[in-house]
């Protein structure tokens, strides 16, 4: 099974990727030696999105494809209740995998509780009119065009 470890970026690490549209230089340098691993991770991500489309929306938000191991699909869920619900959707997942060209015959589901570093997705609170006006005012005072565009984008959110 492949394990992904994610870390929160510091502000200085994150600034190098803002608006560039391409991977950071470190990733480009590492891709020569890690190309196959990166390709597999991207393939798993695309496959995850495809397979979760065959699930009910409420369930799809609580599971993630972790690996494809020969004829097994390995999914992670964040609570035992979702493990049981995912098992009830085994046929739908295996049919979707077959349609994608995978010879999967078995579904393995593992419960992995959320860690403090990875909070559950939330819809967030809507921005008040005062906050939106403050963002617009700040955007007008900034000289960096990319930052100005991002601030205006934020100000247009509901």
Domains of the chain: 38-116 (3.30.300), 124-158 (no CATH)
pLDDT of residue 104: 86
Closest by CA position to 109, among listed 130, 84, 127: 84
Contact between 125 and 131 under an 8 Å Cβ cutoff? The reply is no
pLDDT of residue 17: 46
pLDDT of residue 75: 92
pLDDT of residue 157: 78
- pTM for the whole thing? 0.54
List average pLDDT for each run of 10 residues in the chain, which is 158 residues long. Answer: 45 47 59 76 91 90 90 91 92 91 90 67 74 89 88 83
Stated as kind and residue range, the H or E segment containing 91 is: helix 90-99
Alpha-carbon distances of 158 from 124, 130, 147, 153, rounded to whole Å:
11, 12, 19, 11
Contact between 50 and 93 under an 8 Å Cβ cutoff? The reply is no
């Amino acid at each position: 099974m492949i394990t992904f470890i994610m870390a929160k970026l510091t502000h200085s690490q994150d600034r190098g990727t803002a608006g560039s549209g391409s991977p950071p230089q470190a990733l480009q340098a590492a891709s020569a030696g890690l190309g196959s691993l990166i390709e597999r991770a991207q393939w798993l991500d695309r496959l995850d999105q495809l397979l979760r489309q065959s699930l009910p929306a409420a369930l799809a938000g609580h599971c993630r494809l972790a690996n494809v191991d020969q004829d097994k699909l390995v999914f992670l869920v964040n609570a035992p209740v979702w493990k049981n619900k995912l098992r009830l959707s085994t046929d739908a997942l295996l049919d979707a995998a077959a349609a994608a060209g995978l010879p999967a015959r078995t579904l393995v589901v593992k419960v992995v509780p959320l860690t403090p570093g990875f909070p559950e997705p939330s819809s967030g609170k809507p921005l008040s009119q005062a906050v939106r006006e403050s963002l617009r005012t700040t955007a007008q005072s900034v000289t960096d065009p990319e930052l100005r565009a991002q601030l205006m984008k934020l100000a247009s959110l509901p």
